[in-house]
Amino acid sequence: MAAEVAIDITKTYPGRPPIHAAIRYALDQATSLVLFGPSGSGKTTVLRSIAGLEWPERGTIRFISRTWLDTSARVRVSPQQRRIGYMPQDYALFPNYTVAGNIGYGLAELSPVERTKRVAEMLTLFQLEGLESAKPRELSGGQQQRVALARAVAPRPQLLLLDEPLSALDAPTRAQVRGDLRHVLTQLALPSIIVTHDWTEALTFGDVIAVMGTGNVLHVGSPQDVFSRPKNAEVAQIVGVETVVEGSVSEQRNGLATVRVNGTTLRGLGTDPVGAPVLVCIRAEDVVLEQAGSGMTSARNHLVGTVTAVTPQGVMVQVTIDCGFPLAALVTRGALEELALRVGSPVTAAMKAGAVHLISR
Ligand code: ADP
Ligand code: MG
């Protein structure tokens, strides 16, 4: 049997609607699970339940061959025995401990010599050398985040849980740290579950993404599955990005990247080097449709294709176009009629380079 994570729990806070989560995935296909959804949907509650910091009134949590929770069999494994690294949203660093003290906090089982060695290893891995005697308040936001991560990783947990790992950072730092964190997670090859409400982060970190609506897991699947083929309208609305396809950078000029996607060429903003695999993400509302062959707008990208589906969405209509890959566009009913679009119609899809988001993978 493949190594698997299987969660099926219900947690109810007094006077609140219950929070349900049913998620199951194979670890050989997915090192990182992302719990993605709006604020208040129950992500932190699910994460804390996996950590053993909340006790669901019903359900099971299994990690590989171990059962951590089974309410019907009265199995309740303690947080310590689960061997989890947990990083809360606000980091919860100990203000009176030094960086080294914070990182070494969970290493009581090691001998003093081994502990010092492990802390040094973490200082190197998280680029914190020279800061071992500093107190958290003396550090930048990015450094505090790395100390919190180092503390979670230091005891060599079997599962790493990160709650909104980038949300406490200011916007300019966030993009940088996002790339660094992805790199560290890949290096560690440690199973992780990451909570976020940001789709860029979900696509950066998730091998599998579980989309949460209010108190419920609505869709579990690969990034492309969840974003490009959402199970229902609620999932589509939560993810908000209709086209996600794999591509590879073929040219790079000062942050304007040319990307090849299944034979089609696109220009997007991104600093990824030539040859880098990327996820190409386009919102349907950023795609403008034109008469086939017109090329009227000043947009960077003009893709020629054929309409494969026309799906009404309230006052708007989602048009799916095959232009080497399936591309979704959101247009008004008026525009649809003006262009006389139906399944099989040739059409040109235009979008600015700024609407083509590239995410490194
Ligand atoms: P998210 O992390 O997705 O923002 P949370 O898991 O923090 O969501 O919260 C989900 C719901 O549960 C919210 O309505 C929140 O107010 C409620 N909730 C969370 N923690 C508690 C608690 N300790 N006591 C009572 N209600 C809580
Ligand atoms: Mg939360």
**321 band by pLDDT with thresholds 50, 70 and 90:** very high
Phi, psi of 27, deg, nearest 5: -70, -25
Ligand 1: residue whose CA is nearest its atom 21: 13
Q: By the 8 A CB rule, do 269 and 299 touch? A: no
Sequence-distant (≥ 6) Cβ neighbours of residue 330 within 8 angstroms: 242, 284, 285, 287, 313, 316, 317, 318, 319
pLDDT digits (tens, 9 = 90+) for 129-173: 999 999 999 999 999 999 999 999 999 999 999 999 999 999 889
For residue 233, is pLDDT > 80? Answer: no
Residue 119's pLDDT is 98
What CATH class is the domain 301-355? mainly beta
Q: What distance in angstroms lies between residue 215's CA and the mean position of ligand 1's atoms?
A: 9
**360 band by pLDDT with thresholds 50, 70 and 90:** confident
Residue 2's pLDDT is 79
- Ligand 1, residues 9, 13, 35: which to mutate, most atoms within 8 A of Cβ? 13
Q: What is the mean pLDDT of the chain?
A: 94
Sequence-distant (≥ 6) Cβ neighbours of residue 350 within 8 angstroms: 287, 288, 289, 290, 295, 296, 297, 299, 301, 302, 303
For residue 297, is pLDDT > 80? Answer: no
d(CA 288, CA 8) in angstroms, rounded, equals 42
4-228 against 301-355: fold identical: no
Architecture of domain 4-228: 3-Layer(aba) Sandwich (3.40)
| Ligand 1 nearest-atom number relative to CA 47 | 6
Residue 175's pLDDT is 86
Of 4, 12, 152, give the one whose Cα is nearest residue 88.
Answer: 152
DSSP state, residue 206: -
The domain locations on the chain are: 4-228, 242-282, 301-355
Residues 324-336 have a mean pLDDT of: 95
For residue 298, is pLDDT > 90? Answer: no
Alpha helices, DSSP H, located in 195-259:
199-205, 223-228, 233-239
pLDDT digits (tens, 9 = 90+) for 25-60: 999 888 999 999 999 999 999 999 999 999 999 999
Residue 361's pLDDT is 78
**1 band by pLDDT with thresholds 50, 70 and 90:** low
| Ligand 1 nearest-atom number relative to CA 212 | 3
Count CA atoms closer than 13 A to 291's CA, side-chain side.
3
